[in-house]
Structure 1
Amino acid sequence: MVTVLVIMTAGTLVGYFLRNRPKIILTNDKLIMAAVFGLLFLMGVAIGSNPTIIKKLPVLGMQALVIAVVGIVGSVLAGGVVYYFFFRKKS
């Protein structure tokens, strides 16, 4: 856990000092997206290679769908509240 906090703090400091360099920020965005897609792919490989998960997929799928829908609805609502209080233009 300490390692994660140290890495995040170091990343925050580096990001702070590089914030005025748009070329680096654009490259960083592309790298982040590549990393996210790579992690999603590897998670799919791990799920597909697990016979227990594949056998129970119908039940797990319905539970996952419910959890995903509730998570999406909650995120959209929370985002709307945050936008309303912090980011909307005041007339």
Structure 2
Amino acid sequence: MLLLIFIMVAGIVLGYLLRNQRKIISVNNKLTTIIIYLLLFVLGYGVGADEKIISNLFGLGKDALLLTAGAVAGSIFFVRLVEKKFFP
């Protein structure tokens, strides 16, 4: 846990020191996108390789759809509430 905190703080400091380096920022953005795609691929591979998940895919998908719809509806509701309260 301490290592993760150190890595995060080191990244923040490095980002702060190099914030005006446009070339580094451009490369960082492209690298971040590639790594996110790689992580999504590995996650998909892990899901596809798991027999329990594949055999229950329909039920899990239905539950995931309901959770997503609830999260979106709740987010919209609370954003509207905050808008009315703090930004009349």
Smaller-chain TM-score bracket:
0.7 to 0.9
Q: 2:28 aligns to what?
A: 28
Unaligned residue ranges in structure 1 (runs of 5+): 86-91
Alignment CA distance shift 1:79-1:38 (3 Å): farther
**Pairwise CA distance, 1:75:** 5.2
Deviations 1:57-82 (A, max 9, x none): 11100111122233345556677869
Deviations 1:26-50 (A, max 9, x none): 1100000101000000000000000
- Provide the C-alpha distance between the structure 1 equivalents of 2:3 and 2:12, rounded to a whole number of angstroms: 14
- Provide the C-alpha distance between the structure 1 equivalents of 2:9 and 2:3, rounded to a whole number of angstroms: 10
Alignment CA distance shift 1:50-1:72 (3 Å): same
Q: Does 1:60 align with 2:60?
A: yes
Alignment CA distance shift 1:7-1:79 (3 Å): farther
Q: 1:40 aligns to what?
A: 40
- TM score, norm. by length of structure 1: 0.77
The range that moved more, 39-48 or 67-76, is 67-76
Q: Size of the alignment, in residue pairs? A: 83
What's the C-alpha RMSD, in Å, of the aligned pairs? 2.3
Larger Rg: 2
